[in-house]
Structures are given as C-alpha cells and as structure tokens.
Chain A
C-alpha cells in the first residue's frame, strides 16, 4: 500500500508569491490533516479535511487555506508569502473521523526568500 505522497518535496518562493502544496492520502483514507513544522514554533496543526469538508482549523491567518477533492486528495495554499512561512509542511491521513492513527508524508520543504 502506497503511503502518503506529498508534492513537491522542495520549493523556493519569494515574498509576496503564493504556493500550492499537494497531498495524496493512503488509499481508503478519507481524512487529511496538515501541519506546519518550524524550528521556532515546532509542529502546529493547520487544518483537517474529511469528505471534502473542513473539520478543524488551527490558529493561522486567512492566508493559509486548503481544500479536499472527491478522491480525498488535498491541497493547501499559502498566499502573499512571508519569510516566516518557511517551514516543512506535513500532510497526514487516517481512515475516518475519530481517534485513529495519523500516517504522515515526508513533507514539503518551503523556503521563502
């Protein structure tokens, strides 16, 4: 069974640009979550999607958005990039709502110059 696939793995953007990151969950998993990892703030929850609906949202500005498609694939978008958005963005999937285990992808490393 293929794991959680995130693309691209690495990308470099400049301030003010926008970026879209993609996540393909494990087959059969309908819930996708996104986390941001930075040296200063650690791992922080961004949002969770289940069956194309956002279930939870973390404490991030509106520049951070996401969506989920009918095949459970998810994208997150960051508009008007700031230097502080440089981070590893991790996607995770699980089978259904509830206390299931999250399986993480390898992440997308975003550098904002």
Chain B
C-alpha cells in the first residue's frame, strides 16, 4: 500500500529565509505527486504536481519541488519565505485504482513564519 511521510510536524522560519519541507513516499509504481497548502478554515489549494518528465517542477507562489526517485522523495522548496506562507502543507501521492484515482496524504507540516 502507498504511504507518505512528512517527518517535520512543525517548522519555524524567519521571513526572507529559505524553506525546505520534506516528503518521502512509498509506492510500487511511478507516482503522481502533489503538494497542497491549507490555510486555517480553508480547503486545500494545489501548489504543484509531478506526473512525469522534468524532475524539478515549478508551482504557484514561488514554490518548487524536486522528484528524486532514488530517494523516494519530493521535497518542497522556496528561496525566500513571506509571512503569508504561514499555513499547513500536505504532500500527497495519487494512485489510479478501480478506474478512478485517490490521494494518500502525509500528516502535514505546519509552517510558522517569524517576522
């Protein structure tokens, strides 16, 4: 069965500092990988996705992620964090099953930004 691990439950960074959120997945086939962000009381907003091809993917709000098959990782990065980036971030792996698909999410990383 597929699984996603986000080892950092909480991360605090200073505004303007760089950010890297870790994500490791377990899945037997080629994964579809996603990063979503959730602000308090809101749903999930897609930051970026990896389906195939270039292993460095660009997303919205200046985020990027790199797929490393050898490490089963899909870490999210941002060179300079803004206070508005404070939120919870979820990594997910999507699988095709039963003619449809479903996402398996990690437990999330809560990002706090210090001014």
Q: Hey, which bits of chain A sit against chain B, CB under 8 A?
A: 4, 31, 33, 35, 42-43, 45, 48, 50, 55-56, 58, 90, 92, 97-107, 109
Contact = CB atoms under 8 A, between A and B. Distances in A.
Given A45-B102, A107-B42, 9 more contacts: A4-B43, A43-B90, A50-B100, A92-B44, A99-B96, A99-B101, A100-B101, A101-B46, A104-B45
Interface residues of B, number: 27
B101 A58 contact: no
Contacts of A45: 102-104
Contacts of A104: 36, 43-45
The 4 closest A-B pairs by CB, nearest first: A55-B100, A104-B43, A43-B105, A104-B44
A106 B45 CA distance: 9
Task: Name the prevailing secondary structure of the B interface residues.
Answer: strand
A90 B92 CA distance: 15
Contacts of B49: 101
Interface string B24-53: 000000001010100001111110010100
Contacts of B103: 33, 35, 43, 45, 102
Task: Name the prevailing secondary structure of the A interface residues.
Answer: strand
B108 A106 contact: no
B107 A97 contact: no
A55 B99 contact: yes
Given A99-B32, A104-B45, A56 B98 contact: yes
